[in-house]
Amino acid sequence: MATALHSRSSMAVAMQLFGLLLATFQMTDGNTGVCYGLLGNNLPPPSEVIDLYKRNNIQRMRIYAPVPDVLQALGGSNIELMVGVANEDLYNLATNMGAAYAWVQNNVRNYPNVNFRYIAVGNEINPPAWEANYLLGAMKNIHRAISEAGLGYQIKVSTPFSAGVLGESYPPSRGSFRSDYGWFINPIVTFLVETEAPFFLNTYPYFSYIYNTQYIRLEYALFTSPGTVVQDGQFGYQNLFDAILDAGYSALERAGGGSLEIVVTETGWPSAGGTATTRQNARTYYINLLRHVEGGSPKRPGRPIQTYIFAMFNENQKDPEYEKHWGLFFPNKTPKYGVSFY
């Protein structure tokens, strides 16, 4: 289900083939951001959230809609922002260039002190959803409005996909997009190549694991396998995150998008409410993830993987139960794991 204030489709991510914690662990530099969802009735005000990002050295943020209070609070913070366009707005933006100009004026140009980096048009849209017919048009119109505002080099326009767009993902070298999605996704890949924008992929080893426990070991999902689990030609895979990511790169290569970078626009592990949802497992995932993304994947080694952790807070207005427990922080701003982004 997608909403304007937080978006992650439980159905889509399910398709992906994938004690009290007192210790403090370190996360590295600004290649990692955190998603700021708003589906809670007990969350701190945006000004306090921005202060929490700054005090914890979190230099990148993803929000799912251009909420004015959040954008105002971000002004002058220098936090690099990915801002979302709601799925329900795509028809109007695709069919009315004036609406695209207005969206950019109202939500970007009116906030000159906000450090915009990406616009995420929609979230996890796949056929046969009606939005699939208007996604590329909305992306093109938003890109045109951004470019005509002189911001095309600073702000890139893309759209986040789930791994459900992959028709084949094992081994990673065989990664390809679903053949029935070709009409939909190939033109988007072409647009991203032409505009030199990244491919956005929500990447959840957690969902891959819980829906395939007969085939996937927990250690492979948590980056704790002692050795290679999947040997794929010259590349060896010790963790599921890399396998999903490189399947995405293989799919892009087959679709003419070999030049594109993948930005991981969501990843995380819930701490309660479902299968394998313990604080220890979540802590292990984050420790290892943040160390790992600094070095790249087997197909793209030696350069950091831009990654956004989902999410900043537990959100109590979501269902099912495990959806309430993704936060790095409790709503009272107490850290769940003692995370330090230094």
Query: Is 124 annotated in the active site?
Result: yes
Q: Which of 124, 131, 315, 323 is catalytic?
A: 124
DSSP conformational letter for 329: B
DSSP conformational letter for 105: I
Alpha helices of the chain — where are they, by DSSP H? 10-14, 46-55, 68-74, 90-95, 97-104, 135-148, 182-195, 205-210, 218-221, 240-254, 279-292
What's the rounded Cα separation, in Å, for the pair 185 and 165?
9
Residues with Cβ within 8 Å of 172's Cβ and at least 6 positions away in sequence, in order, are: 230, 232, 235, 237, 242, 243, 244, 246, 247, 249, 250, 298, 299
Half-sphere exposure (Cβ direction) of 97: Cα atoms closer than 13 Å: 6
Residue 37 forms beta bridges with which residues? none
Say if residues 275 and 212 touch (Cβ distance below 8 Å): no
Give the number of other CB atoms < 10 A from CB of residue 204: 26
Residues with Cβ within 8 Å of 236's Cβ and at least 6 positions away in sequence, in order, are: 228, 230, 298
- 43-49 contacts: CB < 8 A, separation 24 or more? 43/313, 43/315, 43/331, 44/331, 44/332, 44/333, 45/69, 45/73, 46/70, 46/72, 46/73, 46/74, 47/73, 48/333, 49/73, 49/312
Q: Which of 80, 131, 266, 315 is catalytic?
A: 266
Mind telling me the catalytic residues?
124, 266
